[in-house]
Amino acid sequence: MTLRLRRHEFADDHKLMMAIVNRTPDSFFDQGATWAEDKAFERVATVVEQGAEIVDIGGIKAAPGVEIDAAEEKSRVVDFVARVRETYPGLVISVDTWRAEVGDAVCAAGADVLNDAWGGADPELVDVAAQYDAAIICTHTGGVTPRTRPYRLEYDDVVAAAIADTMAYADRAVAAGVAEESVVIDPAHDFGKNTFHSLEVTRRIGEMVEAGHGRPVLVSLSNKDFVGESLDLPVGERLIGTLAATAVCALAGARIYRVHQVVETRQTVDMVDVISGLKLPRRAIRGLQ
């Protein structure tokens, strides 16, 4: 089906890049490089130039740390969303939040998508998305508390659990009034999962694509711990592993890629699409002239 992210529509063969923009002083990847508003805005300008269709703005790092209440989270993202919306009317703006209070404020400021990385921890978030005709990203976290690390979680079948939970969340969003074409599902690599779980989800991501019955699958693979542990590499050296995982997910049909490195990810996904016959080579003269 055509994907609709509030005021923006994308055909079902369009793979989307969602560029991460952190309004935090302690993010695991950039270590606060875009904490200052002007630096964050420069990041937006850069990823737009690189071709990202979506920016995902977050005001709290996922890992444990200093407590950030809703008022502080809003102070980091609401005015920034308004500034980005005014400057880039054609850009899809997503906000990474699990709080309905924050979701309401950012949608009023112009956000198109609520990216709930914590699997419905605030049940009223779907009502906010419905109120503003916004899209929502429904994730699987195994029921963990926001901003906590998983510890010895067990699943009979982690992929089956991810499918069941995200589809149930998606159904709940639709029942609340979110448009069917505005619901995205995400297995949420690393969230509520150990490395073996995330690897299992990656190699079987096609099952989630098929089970979604047209609901687009988003993958957030960029520099994740499962990549680092698989290759025993620190955060700054995980790009190649990330792109390998990206290629696997692209071949299986994932639609949206939440990334730090837009250009490299786009080239990887495009190459997979050419190999699989979904796209033609941009130039093909070898042996022909």
Q: How far is CA 105 from CA 4, 79, 99, 132, 191, in A?
A: 21, 9, 10, 11, 25
Which domains, from first to last, does the chain contain? 3-275 (3.20.20.20)
The whole-model pTM stands at: 0.96
**CA angle in degrees (0–180, nearest 5) for 11-246-212:** 50
Alpha carbons within 13 angstroms on the beta-carbon side of residue 60 total 26
Tokens of 134: 């916004």
Element housing 129 (H / E): helix 125-132
Would you write out the chain's pLDDT as a tens digit for each of its 289 residues? 799 999 999 999 999 999 999 999 988 777 789 999 999 999 999 999 999 999 999 999 998 988 999 999 999 999 999 999 999 999 999 999 999 999 999 999 999 999 999 999 999 999 999 999 999 999 999 999 999 999 999 999 999 999 999 999 999 999 999 999 999 999 999 999 999 999 999 999 999 999 999 999 999 999 999 999 999 999 999 999 999 999 999 999 999 999 999 999 999 999 999 999 999 999 999 999 8
Distance CA 286, CA 288 (A): 5
Please give the structure tokens belonging to residue 156. 């009979």
